[in-house]
Structure 1
Amino acid sequence: MKKGILIAASFVALSLTSCKKSESGNKGIVKSDSTETILADNGQVDSNIGYDTDVNGKKSIKTDYVYKATDGALVKVVFKYGPEEKNVSITSNKKTFILDKVQSTGTETTYEKEEMKARVKGDSLILHQGENVIELVKTKI
């Protein structure tokens, strides 16, 4: 009988100490927070901007992506959203092109510099360089 009471008491003690709830929640779950959104030129939320949320729930702007051209070439694209500069740099074959933001409608953003123009809409980026049109799609790397 003493053995049964001892086993029951130890079971209750273990279950009470192992089931502690933490108010901070599961740190491994990515939280969704829209408090720091960037607006497009028309005042709407710019859907072309991606956000990362760390394990503590702090939100930051995702700025670098890898895009894939229709011929299979990989292109690194870095967006800058600072107060003094808003541009995109496109790097491929050890060449980097920096284009300045011209316009944003919330669903489509246009960047230009000299004869080069880039339109970003969702997961696609279309480059116009003179007569050449290069279509890029965001990869899941």
Structure 2
Amino acid sequence: MKTNLLLATILLSLISVSCKKNEGGNKGVISESSSSETTVVDNNGTVDTLTTSTEQTSNDNQTMETSVAYKGLDGTRAKATFSSGKSGKTLVIESANSQKYQLDFKSKTADGEHYERNGVSANTKGDSLIISQGDTEIPLVKVK
């Protein structure tokens, strides 16, 4: 009984000593990474918590993201994230019911921008975002 306990103790101590976590990671994957976040302030000097802007740099690939909260006519909320980088511009729309649409930049219009993918399109115009799918149009207004 004592020998079994002694063997188990030695075995556990050997396992705990031999298992060493590599904390270095793969340094060659991302050579340089930086991130900055911008706080948006409205005219009164109060912080706009609904709009966030981040800029990330990784291996000389700079990506700028701006997230804006929108509200539908029926009161439902959605978050739109505008991204631009070397791979192009995209718009990701996340609705309150966890639906997510990723749209690609197609053209710049006189009033804003046009995004589209898989039959879903979105047009920006000032503080408005109009989402179209087939005959259905969903107008959204920026939350102030």
Which category describes the TM-score, using the shorter chain as reference length? 0.5 to 0.7
Count of aligned pairs:
85
Equivalent residue, structure 2, for 1:78: 81
Task: Supply the distance in 1 between the matched residues of 2:52 and 2:117 (Cα, whole angstroms).
Answer: 26
Q: Is residue 69 of structure 2 the alignment partner of residue 66 of structure 1?
A: yes
Q: Is residue 75 of structure 2 the alignment partner of residue 88 of structure 1?
A: no
Write the deviation string for residues 57-89 of structure 1: whole angstroms up to 9, x where unpaired. Answer: xxxx66000000011000010000112120100
User: SS where residue 63 of structure 1 aligns?
Assistant: strand
Task: Supply the distance in 1 between the matched residues of 2:73 and 2:52 (Cα, whole angstroms).
Answer: 26
Considering Cα pairs closer than 8 Å and 6+ residues apart, tell me whether 1 or 2 has the greater RCO.
1
Task: Supply the distance in 1 between the matched residues of 2:110 and 2:65 (Cα, whole angstroms).
Answer: 17
TM-score for both structures, normalised by structure 1: 0.54
Identity across matched positions, percent: 38
Task: Supply the distance in 2 between the matched residues of 1:94 and 1:51 (Cα, whole angstroms).
Answer: 20
Q: Which runs of 4+ in 1 moved over 2 A?
A: none
Q: Which runs of 5+ in 2 are unaligned?
A: 1-40, 42-50, 54-63
Q: Which residue of the other structure, out of 126, 131, 138, is the alignment partner of 1:134?
A: 138
Task: Supply the distance in 1 between the matched residues of 2:94 and 2:132 (Cα, whole angstroms).
Answer: 15
